[in-house]
Structure 1
Amino acid sequence: MNRKLLGMFLSTSLVASSVITIPGMAQAKSIDDIRAEKAATNAEKQKKQSEIEKLKSEQQAVKNQIAKIDSQMAKTSDEIVAKQEEIAKKEEEIEKLKKDIEELEIRIAERDKLLKERVASMQVNGAVNYLDVLLGSQSFGDFLDRVLALNIIADQDRTIIEEQKADLEALEKKKQEVEEIRNKIQNELESLKKLRNELKAQLEEKDRLSNELASEEEDLHDELGEIEHQAQILAAEEAAYIQQKKEEEAARKRAEEAARKQASAAKQSNVASAASSPSSVKSGSSPSGSSSSSAPEVSHSSSSGFIMPASGRFTSSFGSRVHPISGRVKNHNGVDIANSIGTPIRAAASGKVIYAGTMSGYGNTVMIAHTINGKSYTTLYAHMSAFSVRNGQSVSQGQQIGKIGNTGASTGPHLHFEVHPGGYKNPVNPMQFL
């Protein structure tokens, strides 16, 4: 009888301990599963870190290439400045030549006028007969004076004509120089255009290499961040699992102690009954029945489903989107609900907190495991300004667990909310539950 009673209470204690579980995790994963995932995640983390180190080595080569481009750009810029100075100098030469040409054209025009006047005078007065001028002299001295005068007039005419001829030749030469310099300037401008195109190409190549470098590094760091994120979750699950086992062990010991005390009380009652009445054996079954009916009742999680975790407006939906910070297309594993900092965040369903802390990219984050209608779920609440729960804490549906904030990779105060059926790493659109 005593053994039967003790066995009954031990069975009761095992039932009690078996229902002290972490919803969505305990029966889905064993501690070995969690540790195997941790080992795989750590191996993947080391692999990504090695890839980042390798990328850093490659980055140095690209940086050297960028430095070479910078040097080429500096040289090209110097050449552009030199070409611009050369063009400016040639333009000054053209301006000087233009002034010389203007002066020559003025002198030529004045001589043209003088020569035309002399020709017109000859036409009116007739041509000068040099022999008549000489024979008309009154004396030998007068003769010499007349010869000298005629020579002076002839020399003046020759000088005017020669100067006019020289100025016309100089004018033509200077015009030709201007044309040659203009052609050189045109060539310099073409060369300058080519240099500028080279500089543009060098800048584009530098930007391409820099962006490629930044993109590769960002991708790897994003992947590493995801791996670290997974490692945090697995560590939290492991800690929660260990806490669960401690609670189960404590419950088991309490149940065993209660069973022993009940069995001892029943034994003493049976002894007393045996001493007072021969029918004590028959009546001894009643404590067993009463102990069975007084076994602790198992509590179950709420089956009311999910509620809205915070008030506000939906600003980003589940699925593929352009990331507001990186500008790249990435998958959005939840929905964003925007509201002012400090707006209460509530548990979408009853469950147990499996993580409360800071996560890479998510800032202050809380994760809760639930069992609803026999199915397990994990919900995630990110970017909190503060959280008011701790790891391993049981929470009720609608209980405040934190406040809306702007922590982590966030562009404004909002709640990032995720739902993962069957445990973390299986995100679905939360809207189907809200």
Structure 2
Amino acid sequence: GDLVSRVMAGKSISKQDDKMITDYQNTQKQLADAQQEVKNKKAQLVVEKQELKRQQAELESQLKERNKRLKELRKKKEKFETQLMDAKEVQQILIAQEKAIAAEKAAREREARIEKERQAQAAREAKARAEAEAAQAAAQKEAEQQAAKEAAAQQAAQEKASQAAKPSGSTKQSTPKASTPAPAPAAPTPSAPATPKPSPSSGGLFIHPTVGAVTQGYGSAGGENGYTFHNGIDFGGPVGTPIVAAATGTVITASGGGPYGNHIMIAHQLNGKTYTTLYAHMSALNAHAGQRVSQGEQIGLRGSTGNSTGPHLHFEIHVGGYSYSATGPASSVNPMTMF
């Protein structure tokens, strides 16, 4: 009887071992599948980058169509309200502006897509790890409970057989004590994927492009400088003071000469809307057309180039593309309401 009990117990333990091995192999397969899925997603990102290149080629074709539209405007002999730029300069800026806006939009979409995929991958990996750990812990707990149960049964059988073998009238029989299985360790609680925290914000889309007092505000002007409406604000201060990008964007143009002197225009995509910023009268330029700049990145130095009465930065914000008027706001807005 004792031999049969031992054989049966051995078979039961062997079956439990086989189950543990099978569970472990299944867990390893789940992890391998999750890793393969991540690799496939990375390959998909490469394909999407190639698709972006194709889309850029299409944008070039659209720019040619834009040129045709510009020719139609010239045929209609539409007059610009200001002599800040000649027709050739305006044409160049419009073309560069369309290109920069398209590039900035594509960059924002690419960044959003990559960030979304990164978060999704992190969530999938965390879920796979948690499920694998939970399955392994559950299998281990079940195995320990089964082993303890079988050990207790085996010990009880042995003690019963031992008592039965003793002659009658022997010393007082001892009551068999069943061993109490040790409590199995609690399965680890799967940790939830970290939620990215939003960046702190002052509430405005733009930051001040430089330090210094505002020496001329936005709005009506006397006309002595050739305009009756001031489309931006002026920051006074010493020549050489750093000037930074008021928001992340793509440089439309960075050039010198003309009433603006050394100036930079930047296209921005913020909350799904297009904006254009202008930085004029600089003493030096530290960015070039087509360059992507980050908010707060230095793009030049304050100066007094072009039609300037003293060292200052003339700063404008336009909703959509750049459009200037000497007598009204056109597409410009008061920068002080955007900080």
TM-score normalised over the length of structure 2: 0.48
Larger radius of gyration: 1
Structure number with greater CO (CA < 8 Å, separation at least 6) is 1
**Structure with the largest fraction of helix:** 1
TM-score normalised over the length of structure 1: 0.39
